[in-house]
Amino acid sequence: MLTPRVPEDSLLPFCGLGGPCPEVIPIIIPKSVNYGSAEFSLRSLGVCKNSRNTTARSAALVACLALVVAIAIFPSAPATRADGNARPSNGVASPATPKKVIIDTDPGTDDALAILLALNSPELDVRALTVVPGNVTAQQGLENALKLASLTNRCDIPVAGGAQHPLFQKLITAELWHGANGLANVELPPSKCKADPRFGPDLIIQMIHESPHEITLVPVGPLTNIALALLKDPSIVPLVKEVVIMGGSISGGNVNAAAEANIYNDPEAAQIVFHAGWRLTMVGLDVGDKTLYDQAHLDQLSKTHGPENDFAVKVLTFLLGQEAKYGAGGGSPMYDPLAVGTAIDPSIVSTQPMHVDVESRGEFTRGETVANRRNAVERNVLHGDHYIIEGIDRVDPNVQVCTGVNAEKFLQLLNSRLAGK
């Protein structure tokens, strides 16, 4: 049994780290987290009191207080505009200077493919795999990540467990989509690799400080670990090269009409990560839906062999079966691999800067990424008994939102990197 270590000094009061989780999803919203001005506000405490039962209320209150305390005691970091960081103008990092990445993952079928893609791409130097609960529990996810490191003979890469639950709600796992073990029910051999004893968010913080301005974070699960790292040490913000997430959507969800799974599984964490002030690229569901891996791609990959190649074929066969059963047809979307593909070659996607917030209170829209395509809001001023629009206020973009993808180029990249491995 693998039990991820949770250090005692790591914000333990958070429900996400093993404390009591509210019975109902509480309405606890970090309204704005602006590290630059050290001005933090939560619509929290008053709202926490609205939780529907005493247990929920006290757990929610503890969580709220923990967040307030955590934010208050950590020093503020200078804000950096999301579109202000340097990016190599030629798009693809040269294999001679591979991009250092940390993949934060909830493996997961497409997570597994994303990890295999990353580990077989000379453009990337995978420094760590940190595990977050999402598709599967934290424990199963750590076991899966270790098996993948073992399959690829990469026990040199630290694989660390992290949060045990989302920040403010109970975990929702997705074995329905990913198989009982999260890896398409494919039984990999026991891992030769051992779990790193460090706590995932702490490892992220440490690595960023060891390689300032060099680390690209690639979170492909709920954003709990990344939010915890930010809350614990906001000074990492300007030291991170870029964050490329798989999550969100600007046109509908997969959990329900509005929300994408990674954001839905921890909306408060997502809002913290989206507003940290670093360069963040959102590789959302709606672009992932255009990268359909179909039978022809599978036939192509099935012609070559190797332990990773053969494992990928089994996972992809499972995914095509799931699509036939539940999907819209046309193939299986390669969500997490596309985020890694974007880190490998940003020219695969097109992006637009937008101001994005994460909805956390909507009855039907909790977890929706609400994107302002005009980066402007009306200014309504109260005059007597009604408001009058007096002007337009600009809102700064905080996210590079992917709006297009060269799907076939990406799918060929994926197949070519897995073939024969």
Contacting positions for ligand BDR (CB under 6 A) = 108, 110-111, 135, 174, 177, 220-221, 246, 254, 260-262, 285, 335-336
Tell me whether residue 231 or residue 338 sits nearer to ligand BDR (CB atom): 338
Q: How far is the CB of 134 from ligand BDR (least distance, A)?
A: 6
Binding partner of residue 254 among ligand BDR, Ca ion, none, CB cut-off 5 to 8 Å per kind: ligand BDR
Binding partner of residue 174 among Ca ion, ligand BDR, none, CB cut-off 5 to 8 Å per kind: ligand BDR
Tell me whether residue 239 or residue 245 sits nearer to Ca ion (CB atom): 245
- Alpha-carbon span 284 to 279, nearest angstrom: 16
Tell me whether residue 106 or residue 125 sits nearer to Ca ion (CB atom): 106
One-letter amino acid at 335 equals Y
**Helical H segments across 152-266, by residue range:** 175-178, 200-210, 224-232, 261-264
Q: How far is the CB of 174 from ligand BDR (least distance, A)?
A: 5
**Two tokens, residue 289:** 């839906």
Tell me whether residue 56 or residue 204 sits nearer to ligand BDR (CB atom): 204
β-pair partners for 399: 354
Q: How far is the CB of 323 from Ca ion (least distance, A)?
A: 17
Tell me whether residue 113 or residue 220 sits nearer to Ca ion (CB atom): 220
**Helical H segments across 162-233, by residue range:** 175-178, 200-210, 224-232
Q: Map tokens 């990406």 to a residue.
A: 410
Binding partner of residue 285 among ligand BDR, Ca ion, none, CB cut-off 5 to 8 Å per kind: ligand BDR
β-pair partners for 353: 400
Give the containing element (helix H, strand E) for 102: strand 99-105
- Alpha-carbon span 44 to 1, nearest angstrom: 37
Measured over the CA atoms of residue 212, residue 114, residue 405 and residue 297, the dihedral's sign is positive
Q: How far is the CB of 255 from ligand BDR (least distance, A)?
A: 8
Q: What is the DSSP letter of 188?
A: P
Tell me whether residue 28 or residue 115 sits nearer to Ca ion (CB atom): 115
- Burial state string for 154-179 with b = 16 or more CB within 10 A and e = fewer than 16: eeebbbbbbbbbbbbbebebbeebbb
Q: What is the DSSP letter of 259?
A: -
- Alpha-carbon span 120 to 103, nearest angstrom: 14
Q: How far is the CB of 114 from ligand BDR (least distance, A)?
A: 8
Tell me whether residue 238 or residue 367 sits nearer to ligand BDR (CB atom): 367
Tell me whether residue 135 or residue 360 sits nearer to Ca ion (CB atom): 135
Binding partner of residue 219 among ligand BDR, Ca ion, none, CB cut-off 5 to 8 Å per kind: none
Binding partner of residue 357 among Ca ion, ligand BDR, none, CB cut-off 5 to 8 Å per kind: none
Q: How far is the CB of 264 from ligand BDR (least distance, A)?
A: 9
Binding partner of residue 308 among Ca ion, ligand BDR, none, CB cut-off 5 to 8 Å per kind: none
User: Exposed, middle or buried, 418 (CB in 10 Å: 0-12/13-18/19+)?
Assistant: buried
Q: How far is the CB of 290 from Ca ion (least distance, A)?
A: 18
Binding partner of residue 249 among Ca ion, ligand BDR, none, CB cut-off 5 to 8 Å per kind: none
Tell me whether residue 304 or residue 365 sits nearer to ligand BDR (CB atom): 365
Tell me whether residue 10 or residue 265 sits nearer to ligand BDR (CB atom): 265
Binding partner of residue 164 among ligand BDR, Ca ion, none, CB cut-off 5 to 8 Å per kind: none
User: Could you write out the DSSP letters of every residue in 77-100?
Assistant: -----TT-S---TTSSPPTTSPEE
Contact residues toward Ca ion (CB under 5 A) are: 106, 108, 111, 220-221, 336
Measured in whole angstroms, the distance separating CA 138 from the mean position of its chain's CA atoms is 15
Q: How far is the CB of 336 from Ca ion (least distance, A)?
A: 5
Q: How far is the CB of 234 from Ca ion (least distance, A)?
A: 25
Binding partner of residue 342 among ligand BDR, Ca ion, none, CB cut-off 5 to 8 Å per kind: none
β-pair partners for 381: 388
Whether the CB-CB separation of 269 and 223 falls below 8 Å is answered with yes
Q: How far is the CB of 256 from Ca ion (least distance, A)?
A: 18
Binding partner of residue 17 among Ca ion, ligand BDR, none, CB cut-off 5 to 8 Å per kind: none
Give the residue among 142, 185, 153, 204 at the shortest CA–CA distance from 1. 142
Whether the CB-CB separation of 133 and 168 falls below 8 Å is answered with no
Tell me the C-alpha to C-alpha distance, in Å, between residue 137 and each of 19, 107, 132: 15, 9, 8
Among all residues, whose Cβ is closest to ligand BDR?
261
